[in-house]
Structure 1
Amino acid sequence: MTIYLLMMALAAVSSYAATWGARSLARKFEVYTPIRERDVHSDRVPRLGGLGLFIGFAVALAVSSQTYFVKGVFKDTYSPWGVLLGAAIVVAVGIVDDIIDLRWWVKMIGQIVGASAVALWGVRLFVFPWPGKPLPIESPTLRIFLTVFFIVLVMNAFNFVDGLDGLAIGVAGIGGLAFFIASYWVRRSSAATDWYDLSTLLMALLVGICVGFLIHNWHPAKIFMGDSGSMLIGLLMASASIAALGYNPDTVSSGFYNRVGGVSAIVPIVLPIAILLVPLLDLGLAVVRRTMAGRSPFSADRGHLHHRLLDLGYSHRGAVVLMYSWTFVLAFGGIAFAFFPWQWVIVVDVLAALLMAWVTITLAKGPVKSE
């Protein structure tokens, strides 16, 4: 655990420092977020924050490859470097989009290319999570397709939820922390003689870069992560989920299903869903809302969950903290299945969700009237 925490701290420091450089670069070349009717900020804020996040991740990953204990993750495999390659591709596409505002389909092609790099040289789905036992995916083509689909889905989910200062990066950090704890505990409690693990390392680095960047991104934000940052966060979260399930034929037995005999078979299903529920819910609602209005699912609007909280009278920080709280309840409620009897977990999770619903309604000050 100590080594993972050190790598997490290194990622935080590297991300914090690199974001300073990204801010200076954005100001020099005047890469600012345009002020649009749907936006909640009224001042010009530099973006390219994704560049700082990526540098922090890349530095920490490179150091990890040479560090005692965690360097075992890199032994006889290109998987970590495949994830890094995919991350570099989507960040590059995101930076171009932050500068010249790419068409949605061009950005989608870039996302598919980056996700394909992860599927080919990083991690890949070899099993489909299912209660009782995993269902093997026999077709190599189907493995790649499902991997790419899942990564692109998660990238866009985080992209959609990135609408308030500190929101997306905080949601990712909280979810990543829950994932890190569960992944480490399951590996540590297994019969394996080695305790290093790719999903645990990826989540440690993800949490680190989120903490480092959040200092710059907390309201009022000094820099935005842009699409480069949201896509990077989504790719890392999705890659870690795949790695946790067991990402190649030789290591499927090291996935969540078989690491610990006492772990409920539902954990591999509940955990990713619980962590990603807030951004995925926002993504799903946005697609339905825009499609029913006869517009492209990728067109922008002011109907996201965070916008609705603002319309209900929440302050900027209040809406962010509320969504943090929901993410905490859902994410840690999900990983609880790996630690406690599922019957008790369901009861506590339902009570926690009801409490959060009561808090959400109680704290709302009523619809904000337009002047």
Structure 2
Amino acid sequence: MPDTRKRHRRPTPLIGGFAVLIGLFVALSVSGLLAEPLWLIFFAAALTLTVLGSVDDVLDISPRLRFVLQGLVVTAALFGADLAIEQLGLLLGTETLYLGFALGLGFTVVCALASINAYNMIDGIDGLAGSVTAATLLGVMVLSLLSGATELALVAGSLALALLAFLAFNLELPFFRGRKIFLGDGGSTFLGFLVLWLLVVASQKDISFRPITAVWLVGLPIVDMLTVFARRAFAGKSPFSADRTHIHHLLMESGMSARQTLLVLLGFHASLVAFGVAGEMLYWSDMTMTLGAIGAGALYGAANISLTSRQQKAAASPQQQ
């Protein structure tokens, strides 16, 4: 239902996450991948998290309880699938940084919760979370195909197609007007989990690309979350407090329309994904990729601060007059 924070004009169903999940179920079933433990566990966890997010849509679960429940589901899924970020590549120079399974499992759970909440935060305007995820999935698909990991490429490609179907309704493209749907918390939770799962499988099991490349592929959602968390911490607020300092809010308040904001942010994210794919294909060093990621994050943070400063000055000017 529309309210002071949800500014759409009419009641809109929050079924986008289930729509994409059903598309995934059909693809995994037809391809036979659902019979494999890795993808069966993934689907079971994705379904549980989507239901949990949908319950949160209705009952407004406290952030702490939601965080704990998400952590339990993610931990059980990763442990059951024997999946974790056990190595971080050559981040320290010439030696591969190994975490081992126990430490890696804890680190992966933290990354999963960060990804889930990052996608929840970026889901603020029509089409943004879905299109950003589709771009990431296309990057995963390309690199998986090039490395010969056809199973992972099939999953990533199927999910991208399911998201395109969702986006046709969410953006009310021609022939879909009047049939709008939203992802809801269930959908954004699902997207954050699926991106994390595919990136871990690709970088740890299939070795389709390096762990640092995964940072580039996840791009916009993570850098926006880290920037917002840092701003709230410096302001003495809880990292999970609600405000309008996300980049899509700032761009729209600077005068852009929602569709213009979507195109700008999708272009930014697609450039990050393209950089990651290029770095992997051209064998750029881990150090180059790491320094580039830090630089991109710093530029993003500076742009966020600049936009916020301008709007604060603009808001203060009428009061002074």
Whether TM-score is above 0.5 comes out as yes
Indicate how the Cα distance of structure 1 residues 60 and 93 shifts in structure 2: closer, same or farther if over 3 A, else same: same
Identify which of 7, 12, 15 aligns with 1:45. 12
Aligned match of 1:200: 153
Amino acid at match of 1:136: Y
Q: Which aligned pairs between 1:137-216 and structure 2 lie closer than 5 A?
A: 137-138=99-100, 140-187=101-148, 195-197=149-151, 199-216=152-169
Matched, 1:317 2:293: no
Aligned match of 1:229: 187
Identify which of 183, 193, 212 aligns with 1:270. 212
CA distance in 2, matches of 1:283, 1:338: 25
TM-score, scaled to structure 2: 0.81
Using the TM superposition, give the Cα deviation of residue 272 of structure 1 relative to its aligned residue in structure 2, in angstroms: 1.3
CA distance in 2, matches of 1:166, 1:103: 26
Indicate how the Cα distance of structure 1 residues 236 and 294 shifts in structure 2: closer, same or farther if over 3 A, else same: same
TM-score, scaled to structure 1: 0.71
Aligned match of 1:239: 197
Aligned match of 1:87: 46
Aligned match of 1:295: 237
CA distance in 2, matches of 1:237, 1:316: 25
Identify which of 95, 98, 101 aligns with 1:136. 98
| 1:227-246 deviation digits (Å, cap 9, x = unpaired) | 11011111111011111123
CA distance in 2, matches of 1:326, 1:40: 25
Aligned match of 1:36: 4
Using the TM superposition, give the Cα deviation of residue 81 of structure 1 relative to its aligned residue in structure 2, in angstroms: 0.8
Indicate how the Cα distance of structure 1 residues 41 and 126 shifts in structure 2: closer, same or farther if over 3 A, else same: closer
CA distance in 2, matches of 1:141, 1:231: 25
Indicate how the Cα distance of structure 1 residues 43 and 302 shifts in structure 2: closer, same or farther if over 3 A, else same: farther
SS for the counterpart of 1:136 is coil
Matched, 1:107 2:66: yes
CA distance in 1, matches of 2:134, 2:163: 6
Contact between 1:182 and 1:335, CA under 8 Å: does it hold in 2?
yes
Unaligned 5+ runs, structure 1: 1-31, 66-70, 188-194, 248-253, 257-266
CA distance in 1, matches of 2:95, 2:219: 23
Matched, 1:119 2:78: yes
CA distance in 2, matches of 1:207, 1:118: 22
| 1:133-175 deviation digits (Å, cap 9, x = unpaired) | 643333x432321221121111111111000000010000011
Q: Give the % identical residues.
A: 26
| 1:208-230 deviation digits (Å, cap 9, x = unpaired) | 22111111111688111011101
More helix by share: 2
Indicate how the Cα distance of structure 1 residues 324 and 282 shifts in structure 2: closer, same or farther if over 3 A, else same: same
Identify which of 37, 40, 59 aligns with 2:26. 59
Contact between 1:127 and 1:245, CA under 8 Å: does it hold in 2?
no
Contact between 1:115 and 1:147, CA under 8 Å: does it hold in 2?
no
Identify which of 233, 247, 255 aligns with 2:207. 255
Indicate how the Cα distance of structure 1 residues 341 and 80 shifts in structure 2: closer, same or farther if over 3 A, else same: closer
How many residue pairs align between the two structures? Answer: 293
CA distance in 2, matches of 1:40, 1:133: 51
CA distance in 1, matches of 2:190, 2:116: 7
Using the TM superposition, give the Cα deviation of residue 290 of structure 1 relative to its aligned residue in structure 2, in angstroms: 2.3
CA distance in 2, matches of 1:172, 1:211: 10
CA distance in 1, matches of 2:22, 2:73: 17
SS for the counterpart of 2:219 is helix
Amino acid at match of 2:4: R
Contact between 2:138 and 2:157, CA under 8 Å: does it hold in 1?
yes
| 1:8-48 deviation digits (Å, cap 9, x = unpaired) | xxxxxxxxxxxxxxxxxxxxxxxx3x4224x4434332213
SS for the counterpart of 2:181 is coil
After superposition, the CA RMSD in angstroms is 3.0
Indicate how the Cα distance of structure 1 residues 161 and 176 shifts in structure 2: closer, same or farther if over 3 A, else same: same
SS for the counterpart of 1:45 is coil
